Structure 1
Amino acid sequence: MEKAFAVMKCNEEEKLRFGVYMLKGPANHWYRGELRIRQGKEFESWEQLRKALFCKYFTRDKMVQFERKFINLTQGSMSVDEYEMEFDRLSRYAPKLVDDDQSRARRFEGGLQAHIRRGLAALHLTSYAEVVGRAKSLDTVWGDTKDQSVRFRKKRDRSF
C-alpha cells in the first residue's frame, strides 16, 4: 500500500481512505470492530491505522520469531537466488543487524554455503550488490561443475 501511495502521490487523507478501502477479510472485520469499540470515531491518519494494524497482526512474539529466523538464516539447500529472496524478506525484522550496506553484505555472505564463501573470500567485496552478484555467479559455476562431474562419473561407470 505504501508503494501505491507513493505512485499515486496520495496526501494523508487519501492514504487513510484508500487504506481503509483496501482492508479485506479478517482485517476488514477487525477494522469494523475497532470502529465499534471507538464508538464510530475514525482513525485520524494512515500512520495511526498502520500502527494499529501492525500491533494486531505483528505481535512482539511474532516479530521476535521472524528476527530469530533471520539471525539463523543460512543458504542450506537453497539456490543463491532463493537465499537472497528469503534474506531480503526476513531482514526487515532485524534492521539493526543490516543497517548499512557493508553490514548487509557481511551478514549475507556469512550465511552462504562454505564453498561459495571460500570463493568470495579473496575478493574482499564490501557492497551487498557485489556480494550477491558474485555469489550468484559462483553458484552457477558450482552447479555447472557439479553437473559435469556427475555426467563424467556416469560415463566412466558405463565404460566399466
Structure 2
Amino acid sequence: MASHLRDFTLMNPSNIYWSMVKEDPHDFIDEVYKILLYMGLFTSEKADFGTYQLGDVAKALYVEWRDYMPLRGGTVIWEIFKNIFIDRFFTKKMRESKVVEFITLRQGGMGVHEYSLKFTKQSKYAHSFVSDPRDEMSRFMRGLSDDLKEECHSAMLHENMNISRLMVHAKHVEDKWAKRKSRDAKRSRSLDSGS
C-alpha cells in the first residue's frame, strides 16, 4: 500500500480546494481516475487513493460513508465513490449550468478541432442528449457553422458513421476549404503581380 501511495503522489494529481468558483469536480475525479487506472489498482483501492487528494470536508464525508458501507454489506468501489462524490460536490445549479453550456455550444469562431474538444468535454454533463449515437451526431452538427453542416449532413447518414468519424470528416472538410482559400489567394497575388 505504501509503495502505491508513493507512486500515486509522484504522478502529481491535482488537488481540489472547494474555494475556487471555476473548479469542476468532474475534471478532478476524472484526472484522479486516469492516474489510478494507470497504476492498475483494484476498484476498492481506487476509492481509497482518490480520497487522498480530497480536502478535509470531502475526506470526512468519505470516511463516514466508508465506515457505514460494511454495515450495509459492501465495499467502497470507484463507481460508487465517484457517484457519491459528484452528487455531493457538484451542485444541481452547477450541473444545470453545464447542461445549458452544452446545449448552447456553437462553433462560432472556433476551428472544428477546438469545437470537437469542447463538445466532447461538455457532453459528459448532458448524458441524455448524447446517449444515442445518432442524437450525439445531430447535437454535434447543430453547433457547426452552416457551411459545414451542409457538407457533413450526408456523411452523417452513412451506416458506419459515429461521432469520432464525423468530427474527423468535419475537420477534413475545414482543412480542404482552408487549402483552397490559400491556393486561391496565392493565385490572385500572382495574377496581380504579373499584370
TM tier, shorter chain?
0.7 to 0.9
Letter in structure 1 aligned against 2:56: H
1:16 aligned to 2:43? no
Q: Which runs of 5+ in 1 are unaligned?
A: none
C-alpha separation in 1, matches of 2:118 and 2:185 = 29
- Residue 23 of structure 2 corresponds to which residue in structure 1? none
- Kindly report which structure 2 residues correspond to 1:122-133, keeping only aligned pairs within 5 A, or say none: 122-123=154-155, 124-125=157-158, 126-133=161-168
Letter in structure 1 aligned against 2:48: R
Give the superposed CA RMSD: 2.6
Give the C-alpha shift of residue 30 in structure 1: 2.5
Q: 3-state DSSP class of the match of 1:137?
A: helix
Give the C-alpha shift of residue 156 in structure 1: 4.2
- Residue 120 of structure 2 corresponds to which residue in structure 1? 88
Please identify runs of 4+ aligned residues in structure 1 that moved more than 6 A: none
Give the C-alpha shift of residue 51 in structure 1: 3.9
Residue among 178, 185, 194 paired with 1:143: 178
Letter in structure 2 aligned against 1:146: K
Q: 3-state DSSP class of the match of 1:75?
A: coil
Give the C-alpha shift of residue 89 in structure 1: 0.3
C-alpha separation in 2, matches of 1:15 and 1:65 = 29
- Residue 110 of structure 1 corresponds to which residue in structure 2? 142
Q: Which runs of 5+ in 2 are unaligned?
A: 1-31, 70-75
Letter in structure 2 aligned against 1:91: S
The one of the two structures with greater contact order (alpha-carbon pairs below 8 A, sep at least 6) is 1
Identity of aligned residues (%): 22
